[in-house]
Structure 1
Amino acid sequence: MFWKKHKWKIIVPVCLLALLAFAFWYGGDAPGLQGWKVAKPSATEVPGSELDERPGGAEGVLSVEEKLAAAAQLAGDVQAEAGDADYSAAHGMQLDPETGKDRYGTSAVPEGKPVPVEPEDVEISDVEHSCTMSISCATILDNMGWLDPEKTELVPSDGWILKPIEVTFYEGESVFNVLLRTCKQQGIHMEFVNTPMYNSAYIEGIHNLYEFDCGQLSGWIYKVNGWSPNYGCSRYALQDGDVIEWVYTCNLGIDVDAYVGG
């Protein structure tokens, strides 16, 4: 009896709620969607649909393949600097002839660029050198609408977390060694995880700004002397006078001139 008497009082509100939920989701504001509608590409196709403003998969998280496809579409005619297999092999990289990559999945580096050096093969001496290091999240200022609202107050008005400073390092040290020590000395939060698959530390967050805080293609990238290496920061052996830049990207390096391709 109760159902027959009150069913419309129950059904109508439920239908309205469902309609509102659908409208909210379809508008792209649902948590996790973050605006973009990027379909997962097949193994032989590149997404042909036009991308919207911000990356985000159907469930809020893009796969590696989706990220690379989205970045490639954003990059357009921008091409990553091509690697040189002969040069890389001559300088010690052991590349698989079938894949063109080393055992950690690293492709050949461009001619004239340093090849990766495995941390376990290096002896750090007490010989001092100097380099310049900086940390910037300026690209977030151009994409504040993408940023996690809880992180807004963390972004400096000029984008600098650490303006360029000269720091000391020791012969044999890597970009990661210098980042770790400098952040401790400067009181800057930094979080990383070791990734055996790539034989390097991976920087998850600096200054409490993490990967994915400003879109699904966002995170930290490093450059040395203007070049963005295609291998992890633990494998980059520093030379005296190097200039290290840690920069936050909102689309896999394209916005900070550090696109390395897929």
Structure 2
Amino acid sequence: MRMTRVLGAALLTLGLAAGPAAADSSPSPGASEDTDAPTRAGTSFRTATEIEQGQTATANASTGDYLYWSFPADTGQRPTVEATVKLPAEHAAETWQIDVYDGLRRRQACRFGAQTRTAAAGAASVELACALRTVRGWAEPWSGDPLPGTYYVRLTAVDVPASVLGQPVSAEVRVGSQDAGGAAAVDGSLAEPLVPGAGVTRDEEEKSGDEALLASLEPDDGWASGWWSDRWVWTGLGGVLAALAGIGGYALTRGAGRPPRVPPAA
């Protein structure tokens, strides 16, 4: 009976501790959509328009333009970038492509999604997507793994025929992410996130005469917000269960090997 109570208390502790961990592994809602979403795009890495996760940014452009946006991604997140390009009523077949780069301007591979897609002649729109790998807290320089910091989105038409160049188009870009949880945790972290212009104030930027936009957005609860994960929970619970198993084994085996008690002589 006593062991049953102990195991019941352990299971209750397991349920209470695993609750927050399960919540952490749910999709990250990011910033809610609002009327402050950007309505333009940059034309290079240095002038990329900043957007928050959860926002839908729009821009009017011409076929052949390079459109750039940037967004923050923190440790443990799996960002997904989606883009929709609305095409004119009459146009020839054209191919559009979306690329994502990290703070070091390294092109990141997509786990899945239609990164390049060809719109048939006369098609009203074309949709693209790129789901990135999990952002890691630390990685070897040669690995090319995604690291926390600013990410850049580039949207453009490729192999554009001359008859299509300059036609008006409108683009929508959305960024969301999921929390990978403790399964993606690593032992290590960057001293600073890969954010261009980090540590440079706006006054210093104006004095230098550089009008380029520096990345200023960060996750809602700050960088390295993913230091806590369910990895800590399951590690602690594993230790608790191991201790209970030891206590139970001792309780079952104590007394084994002792000589039987001999009743005293009458």
Q: Same fold (TM over 0.5)?
A: no
| Structure label with greater radius of gyration | 2
Structure with the higher fraction of residues in strand conformation: 2
TM-score interval (norm. to shorter): under 0.3
TM-score (norm 2): 0.25
TM-score (norm 1): 0.25
Structure with the higher fraction of residues in helix conformation: 1
